Amino acid sequence: MSPIISRLSGPLGFAFYAGASGPPPPSGLGAAYGGGFYIGILGGAYWVVADNDTQVNGSFNNRDTAVNNAQAEAACGDWFIPSYTEMQWTKGQKNYWDSYTQDPYWSATQKPGDNHGVGAVNLAPNSGNNWCWCNNPAKIRAFRKVVY
């Protein structure tokens, strides 16, 4: 296996690896990987959810706290809160998270034309997703994408 030549943090929470082989692939869904837990591939990237210890319960304005917590635990430099569409995908991968609660989780997407509406994805079975008032409490978890 060739060594990683360089790692550059890119836009939108991507980590780019240069080199013949890039990072080693995850050992399986739910495995510890990349500073968190590997939950699947979307858009050509390995998706990693931060450890449950970094999760925050708060308003939409607390989303940076979840990112900062993930960064403090695993200094990868590219943690982010997913968009509403991406967060809906992560709901389908929740069984590969280290743990989760059956509550709404904030996305990074504000409702078009509404300064106070934010997309929240409810992880409870058979639950709908909502546009919620940004001051309501919900869970916040950071993610990262690893591309090579």
Q: Whole-prediction pTM value?
A: 0.81
φ, ψ of residue 52 to 5 degrees: the values are: -55, -30
* Burial (CB count within 10 angstroms: exposed 0-12, middle 13-18, buried 19+), residue 146: buried
Q: Please report, in tens digits, the pLDDT of each residue of the chain (148 residues total).
A: 333 323 334 444 444 444 434 567 788 999 999 999 999 999 989 999 999 999 999 999 999 999 999 999 999 999 999 999 999 999 999 999 999 999 999 999 988 887 778 889 999 888 877 778 888 899 999 999 998 6
DSSP tag of 80: B
